[in-house]
Amino acid sequence: MKKYLSFFRLRFLLGLQYRVAALAGIATQFVWGFMEIMIFAAFYRTGADAFPMTLTATSSYIWLQQAFLALFAAWMMDNEIFSSILSGGIAYELCRPIDIYNMWFCRNAASRLARAVLRCFPILIAAVFLPEPYGIAAPASAEHFLLFLIALVLGFLTTVSLCMLIYVLTFFTVSPQGLRILFTSGVEFFSGGVIPLPFFPDPVRRFMELLPFASMQNAALQIYSGTLNQAETVRAVALQLFWLIAVTAGGKMLCRMAVKRVVVQGG
């Protein structure tokens, strides 16, 4: 465990060095967040009673989504891993006395967390001071906030586990580009990254909420805004825990199979 914590610490400290990139990301996410909220505000003016969330709750959903984008964005992957697999550099990592899945998991988690730490606080602080209903509102209750933090951590770990599947599947492909495009496009849609899941028709929404992608960000953001009742909250957190265990176990099993079959040509 100590060696994996070392990988995590080193990659986390490395990620904190990219402050200029973080500033550029903050500016981009502010503009994107305002654009989304203004679009939703225009729709709400046509009849707020027809929407499943209030504009205040929707604004909170969007600002939290932007603040913690680095935790949930499927397109934020480690290109070094893809490069090592395609170039044959993976041979050096396989020689180390470590579990390669655990090492990659720690590296990915640390990189995402470092990016989120640099970006989330400026966005959250600015969103708090925006006028209602365009800013971020306080959580529905202290209990909701605690459950939000739990769901946030579970969603973050589920995101890393799902991305790990793409790294592992690269062992079986000539190029990972097709997998990455398909995966990121699907995740953005099914996780609520494009449109919050409550805005989908009920039959579609219920189906999408059962998928692992809904356990990434949708569950945590809905819990914060108070749009889920107690039973729905417990169900959402339980689904997050289930998918985290299932996806991680499947990824580790697939990784063991890939490592046994990997062939590195050249020297």
Q: Kindly state the average pLDDT of the residues 127-155.
A: 89
Asked if residue 139 is part of any domain, the answer here is yes
Give 152's pLDDT tier (boundaries 50, 70, 90): very high
Asked if residue 267 is part of any domain, the answer here is no
Which residue has 């209750």 as its token pair?
Answer: 141
Asked if residue 65 is part of any domain, the answer here is yes
| pLDDT tens, position by position, 84-110 | 887 777 777 777 778 889 889 998 999
Asked if residue 7 is part of any domain, the answer here is yes
pLDDT score for 246: 94
Query: pTM of the full predicted structure?
Result: 0.90
- Residue 73's domain comprises 2-261
Asked if residue 266 is part of any domain, the answer here is no
- CA 129, CA 228: separation in Å to the nearest integer? 25
Asked if residue 176 is part of any domain, the answer here is yes
Residue of 164 and 7 predicted with greater confidence? 164
Asked if residue 192 is part of any domain, the answer here is yes
Count up the domains in the chain and report the number: 1
Which residue has 């605690």 as its token pair?
Answer: 146
To the nearest whole percent, how much of the chain has pLDDT over 90?
26
Give the burial class of 13: count Cβ atoms within 10 A of its Cβ; 0-12 exposed, 13-18 middle, 19 or more buried: exposed
Asked if residue 155 is part of any domain, the answer here is yes
To the nearest whole percent, how much of the chain has pLDDT over 70?
96
48 pLDDT more than 60: no
60 pLDDT more than 60: yes
- CA 46, CA 53: separation in Å to the nearest integer? 14
| pLDDT tens, position by position, 105-139 | 998 999 999 999 988 999 999 899 988 888 898 88
| pLDDT tens, position by position, 170-218 | 888 877 888 888 888 888 888 888 888 888 888 998 899 899 998 898 8
